[in-house]
A and B are shown apart, each in its own frame.
Chain A
Amino acid sequence: MTETTRPREEALREQMVGLLPRIRRFARGLTKDPDRADDLVQEACERALGRLHQFAEDSRLDSWLYRIVYTRWIDRLRRSKTRSAHLALLNKQESEEPAGNGTAGLDKLLDVKDALAALPQEHRAAVLLVGVEGHSYAEAAAVMDVPVGTVASRVARGRSMLAEMLSPRSGGVQGKGYGVMEVKK
């Protein structure tokens, strides 16, 4: 780090500290376990610090951090799946990270965190980025590196599954048979 870059890096470091509450919330949504969530945040912070020179001046630091957290999480899940091949003897619920299929435990989920953890990973991230972190679809698309339309459909589908799991008795939004509706104008 040169004398000229130090002030910039220190300023970015301070901004990152200010972003920690939001980043931790995002990580907690991705992985329900608080310790693992903080592990993920710590890993992302360290990675970001090591790559501050790659951060473009005209970029948003929060989006950059969210993206690092998201990519590290996806990477962890991939590694976890590799592990799972060795851990097949264990109960499914004991795997490194709950990899939801969108239908698990529909009849007995207790709270919203359980329902969130049961969502498919991409849907979970999209719902969190838009619904909790307040990102626009375009911003979430940049974080997840997918088209805006993909984010829109993942949020819609993910939130529908979430609602269905949270309101099983009413059948949630899916139970209403909602698909495409027609209206006269």
Chain B
Amino acid sequence: MNRSFDETTLSAFVDGQLDPDTMKEVVAFLEVDLNARQYVWEAFKAQAQLRAALNPVADETIPPRLLAALEQPAAAARPRRWMPAFVRAAAAVLLLTVGVGVGWVVQGIGNGKGAGGFESLPARYSQVVDAALENNLSGKPTDWKAPEGRMTVTVTPVRTFKDADGLFYREYTLAVSAGEQRSQLSGLAYRTGQGRWKTKAVFF
């Protein structure tokens, strides 16, 4: 009788997933069919390469942050990601401010005295973002603390790209904290030249 073995069956042979009878039939088939032998050989080889490439990961030292994550009580394992809406909204406005180039419009988040205490913020804030994107290696944060308020802005470049036209882009995170409240957003900016950067998009 004729017996057909498709790719899936031969693959299951490689994985040891066939029943004993089918396994014997495949072994007999491999003895007479060059293409099938080639298929199985290539499959074994690919699998061996894959294991050789990934198995060392299992021997690496476990990063402390992962161990720490498992040491926390279950109820407190996942910190609150988003703080009250006003902090988030303020952070969004911060980014959009950079994106559209308008003035500082956040009020009430810092010292609660309204915009009056932040008259000098637009230029200083832009400088912080520009300086971080212009000078920091990815992963290195720059902090800026409002002089009269309790708000701190931390800008951290994450990755650097170059598009087809040669423009430099950087992804960054922007964290805004006010007291114990904290929120973080991600932004994408491109270099406009002379050490200036313009935010193109924000992600929440």
A59 to B58, CA, bound (A): 23
B100 within 8 A of A: no
Q: Are A132 and B36 in contact (CB under 8 A)?
A: no
State which of B2, B14, B45, B62 has its C-beta within 8 Å of the C-beta of A183. Answer: B2
* Binary flags per residue of B73-93, CB closer than 8 Å to A gives 1, else 0: 111011000000000000000
B169 within 8 A of A: yes
Q: Are B12 and A112 in contact (CB under 8 A)?
A: no
Closest to B2 in A: A182
Instruction: Give the contact-size bracket for chain B.
Output: 35 or more
Q: Nearest Cβ in chain B — how far from A144, in angstroms?
A: 15
Residue of A52, A90, A137, A157 with highest tally of chain B CB at under 10 A: A90
> B residues 12-36 with Cβ under 8 Å of A?
12, 14-15, 17, 25, 28-29, 32-33, 35-36
A118 within 8 A of B: no
* Binary flags per residue of A1-37, CB closer than 8 Å to B gives 1, else 0: 1000000010001001100111011001100000000
Number of A-B contacts (CB under 8 A): 179
State which of A25, A46, A181, A184 has its C-beta within 8 Å of the C-beta of B35. Answer: A181
Known: A9-B74, A83-B203, A179-B6. A131 touches B15 (CB 8 A): yes
Q: Which residues of chain B come closer than 8 Å to A28, judged between CB atoms?
A: 54, 57
Closest to B59 in A: A21
16 contacts between A and B (CB under 8 A): A21-B58, A24-B57, A24-B60, A28-B57, A86-B203, A89-B163, A89-B200, A91-B161, A91-B162, A112-B52, A130-B15, A152-B11, A156-B7, A170-B42, A176-B39, A185-B1
A111 to B75, CA, bound (A): 42
B55 within 8 A of A: yes
Q: Are B169 and A112 in contact (CB under 8 A)?
A: no
Q: A22-B58, A111-B53, A159-B46 are in contact. List 14 more A-B contacts (CB 8 A).
A: A20-B70, A21-B59, A21-B62, A25-B57, A45-B77, A49-B74, A50-B77, A86-B188, A112-B53, A132-B51, A152-B11, A155-B15, A156-B11, A185-B2
A160 to B58, CA, bound (A): 25
Q: Are B3 and A183 in contact (CB under 8 A)?
A: yes
Q: Are A178 and B74 in contact (CB under 8 A)?
A: no
State which of B3, B54, B70, B201 has its C-beta within 8 Å of the C-beta of A29. Answer: B54
State which of B39, B49, B75 has its C-beta within 8 Å of the C-beta of A112. Answer: B49
Interface of A is mostly: helix
* Binary flags per residue of A77-97, CB closer than 8 Å to B gives 1, else 0: 000000100110111001000
State which of B14, B25, B35, B65 has its C-beta within 8 Å of the C-beta of A177. Answer: B35
A172 within 8 A of B: yes
A167 to B10, CA, bound (A): 19
Q: Are A173 and B39 in contact (CB under 8 A)?
A: yes
State which of A94, A183, A184 has its C-beta within 8 Å of the C-beta of B161. Answer: A94
Q: Are B50 and A131 in contact (CB under 8 A)?
A: yes
* Binary flags per residue of A143-165, CB closer than 8 Å to B gives 1, else 0: 00000000011011101101100
Q: Which residues of chain A come closer than 8 Å to B194, judged between CB atoms?
A: none
A127 to B36, CA, bound (A): 20
Q: Are A38 and B42 in contact (CB under 8 A)?
A: no
Q: Are B188 and A137 in contact (CB under 8 A)?
A: no
A166 within 8 A of B: yes
Closest to B203 in A: A83
Residue of B59, B62, B73, B77 with highest tally of chain A CB at under 10 A: B77
A119 to B42, CA, bound (A): 17
Q: Which residues of chain B come closer than 8 Å to A103, judged between CB atoms?
A: none
Q: Nearest Cβ in chain B — how far from A79, in angstroms?
A: 9
A180 within 8 A of B: yes
